[in-house]
């Protein structure tokens, strides 16, 4: 059984939101574009003002500083405490404020656009720096040492590798390779940045600790090291209702807030996976739902571990923005119920649940399904084995019209999430869901 979008009122023939809300124009890309435009303006202004090249000599110090500023932005915006601060700030807006403003604030989780924009811009500036160093050396001007040149070339090579593996299709197809390159090349670059900036300070005959680069590197290093300072191996209890999914229980002194996630690993130097936390009011600890979605999750389900590694702090996620709205519609598929369940249990915001999954009781267990039914008003639980796949956009739109909800939050796979968000937002309904930028 499928509900067709043709049964629901279609948007007007000319609808600007069909273009402005298209997935290619999401806030993530808009933020990356802002970073690109800002850097282009700095670059062009520098050329016009002869800041980068004076009397045929490249000012490598100024170029290096701009590169490092971009990298500082890219790294700090991903720091867990900064992420939580961004979410905290965005969700201070009261529900009495205009919907368009709350809609905008709800897109706070697109901050990754600043990360990718800063990383790419910093890499381009660093390539420009290498060019300037080489040009100065070729002309016999400047004071760059061979060490500085070779370090610069090595660093540009690592940056190219990181950017190449982070390109969407490549990252999705070779995600483990992307993770390894990002982690180990990133750590290598951090060490090389220290060596490179120390070498440049020595070349210029200035104390390294007196340069802005020294303090920026201290900030970057602290940001990267901080999560690893909390690395610990903790015991888990695993409930396995089926061969498709497990419920993992933690009780090591941390009770997270609804709308948060933690990263876990079986091998902390190789692979990390983030899952939404499921705290229960009045209960210590939390749960995670892990469903079979790849090699790692398959191994986890088939051979449940007694302990896992955790690091960092509890970090805000997409659904945290529910408090910006008076009522929301949650749309979830399969194990997407995991990020939704803590909000049902917390009862902070009135909601309507649409959950599409195969054999919900057989797959996730009676206890979990009964918990869901008991904590939300008239949930629509769609058994795809019995009824086929629904048109979730149509169901979400109908739910908004029936309940007067202000927003839709989608927890599903990438293709379906993008489709539902686009179908809602081109009709003027705020919609939110993961953007797969990590």
d(CA 183, CA 57): 36
421 vs 109: CA distance, rounded Å:
14
Torsion on CA atoms 330, 334, 337, 338, rounded to nearest 10: -140
Helix, strand, or coil (residue 138):
helix
Question: What whole-number distance in Å separates Cα of residue 91 and Cα of residue 318?
Answer: 12
| CB-CB contact of 117 with 348 (8 Å) | no
Q: Is 309 helix (H, G, I), strand (E, B) or coil?
A: strand
Query: CB neighbours of 174 closer than 8 A, spacing ≥ 6?
Result: 165
Sheet holding 307-316, edge to edge: 271-276, 260-267, 307-316, 232-239, 245-250, 286-291
CA distance 414 to 436: 7
| Euclidean distance between CA atoms 66 and 129, whole angstroms | 10
Q: Where are the domains of the chain?
A: 5-15+319-433, 23-226, 229-318
Q: What is the C-alpha separation between 12 and 201, in angstroms, rounded?
A: 61
> Would you say domain 229-318 falls under CATH 2.40.30.10?
yes
Residue by residue, pLDDT tens for the chain (438 residues) are 334 444 455 666 678 888 889 988 999 999 999 999 999 999 999 999 889 998 889 999 999 999 999 999 999 999 999 999 999 999 999 999 999 999 999 999 999 999 999 999 999 999 999 999 999 999 988 889 999 999 999 999 999 999 999 988 888 888 888 888 999 999 999 999 999 999 999 999 999 999 999 999 999 999 999 999 999 999 999 999 999 999 999 999 999 999 999 999 999 988 899 999 999 998 999 999 999 988 899 999 999 999 999 999 999 999 999 999 999 999 999 999 999 999 999 999 999 999 999 999 999 999 999 999 999 999 999 999 999 999 999 999 999 999 999 999 999 999 999 999 999 999 999 999 998 775
Specify the pTM. Answer: 0.91
Euclidean distance between CA atoms 422 and 288, whole angstroms: 28
Sheet-wide strand order for 431-433:
380-383, 351-357, 328-333, 407-411, 431-433
Top-tier CATH class for 5-15+319-433? alpha beta
- d(Cα 364, Cα 241) in Å, to the nearest integer? 6
């Amino acid at each position: 059984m499928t509900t067709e979008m043709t049964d629901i009122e279609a948007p007007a023939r000319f609808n600007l939101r069909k273009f402005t809300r298209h997935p290619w124009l999401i806030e993530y890309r808009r933020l990356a574009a802002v970073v690109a435009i800002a850097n282009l303006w700095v670059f062009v202004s520098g050329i016009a003002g002869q800041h980068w090249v004076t009397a045929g000599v490249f000012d490598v110090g100024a170029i290096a500083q701009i590169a490092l500023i971009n990298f500082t932005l890219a790294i700090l915006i991903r720091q867990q405490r900064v992420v939580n601060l961004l979410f905290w700030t965005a969700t201070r807006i009261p529900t009495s404020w205009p919907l368009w403003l709350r809609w905008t604030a709800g897109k706070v989780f697109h901050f990754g656009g600043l990360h990718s924009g800063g990383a790419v811009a910093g890499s381009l500036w660093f390539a420009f720096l290498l060019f300037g160093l080489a040009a100065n050396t070729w002309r016999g001007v400047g004071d760059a040492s061979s060490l500085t040149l070779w370090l610069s070339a090595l660093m540009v090579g690592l940056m190219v590798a990181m950017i190449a593996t982070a390109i969407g299709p490549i990252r999705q197809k070779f995600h483990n390779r992307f993770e390894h390159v990002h982690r180990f090349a990133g750590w290598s670059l951090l060490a090389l940045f220290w060596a490179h900036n120390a070498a440049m300070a020595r070349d210029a005959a200035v104390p390294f600790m007196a340069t802005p680069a020294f303090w920026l590197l201290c900030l970057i290093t602290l940001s990267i090291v901080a999560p690893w300072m909390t690395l610990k191996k903790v015991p888990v209890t695993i409930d396995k209702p089926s061969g498709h999914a497990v419920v993992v229980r933690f009780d090591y002194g941390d009770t997270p807030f609804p709308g948060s996630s933690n990263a876990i690993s079986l091998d902390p130097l190789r692979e990390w996976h983030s899952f939404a936390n499921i705290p229960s009011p009045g209960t210590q600890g939390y749960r995670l739902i892990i469903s079979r979605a790849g090699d790692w999750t398959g191994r986890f389900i088939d051979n449940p571990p007694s302990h896992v590694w955790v690091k960092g702090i509890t970090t805000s996620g997409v659904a945290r923005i529910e408090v910006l709205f008076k009522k929301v519609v949650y749309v979830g598929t399969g194990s997407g119920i995991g990020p939704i369940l803590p909000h049902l249990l917390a009862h902070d915001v009135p909601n309507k649940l649409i959950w599409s999954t195969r054999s919900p009781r057989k797959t996730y267990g009676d206890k979990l399904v009964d918990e869901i039914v008991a904590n939300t008003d008239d949930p629509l639980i769609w058994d795809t084995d019995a009824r086929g796949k629904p048109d979730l956009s149509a169901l979400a739109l109908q739910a908004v019209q029936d309940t007067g909800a202000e927003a839709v939050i989608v927890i599903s796979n990438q293709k379906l999430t993008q489709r539902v968000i686009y179908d809602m937002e081109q009709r003027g309904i705020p919609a939110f869901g993961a953007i797969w930028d990590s």
